[in-house]
Structure 1
Amino acid sequence: MPRIPYLDADACIGCETCTRICPKVFHMVSEHKAGIHNPCGDSEDKIEEAMDSCPVACITWQD
């Protein structure tokens, strides 16, 4: 069963890093907030890359 990413929208600063690295999973929902539109849209490795690149560490794996 694939792991599901979680994005803390309150902590998101809208830097767009995750959307550039993994656009199949992340998208901008407003000018200053990212969101998840397809949680299983890319490999776990690609999602991990977006997580590791997030400057505020607001993307984690859902429990």
Structure 2
Amino acid sequence: MSRRLRVDWPACRARGLCHELLPEVVDLDEWGYPIVTDAVPDALLADARAAVRACPRLALRIVD
């Protein structure tokens, strides 16, 4: 099953915490907004869930 992170753009305020917690999957653009670069591998699913929970604006979620 392929899981991806989805960003709620209106809610995101470019704090970059998701990139700090999950740099293997999330890059930042020139303004600090997240760019999801790949699907979330099973080995990083726990880290992805932590990034979703840690987002101060609740702007991330995991989708199948």
TM-score by length of 2: 0.80
Look up the equivalent residue of 2:59 and give its one-letter code.
Answer: C
Aligned equivalent of 2:60: 59
Q: Which has the higher helix share?
A: 2
Unaligned residue ranges in structure 2 (runs of 5+): none
RMSD across aligned positions (CA): 1.8
Structure 1 runs not aligned, ≥5 long = none
Q: Does 1:31 align with 2:31?
A: yes
Runs of 4+ in structure 1 displaced over 2 angstroms?
39-42
Tell me how many residue pairs correspond in the alignment: 63
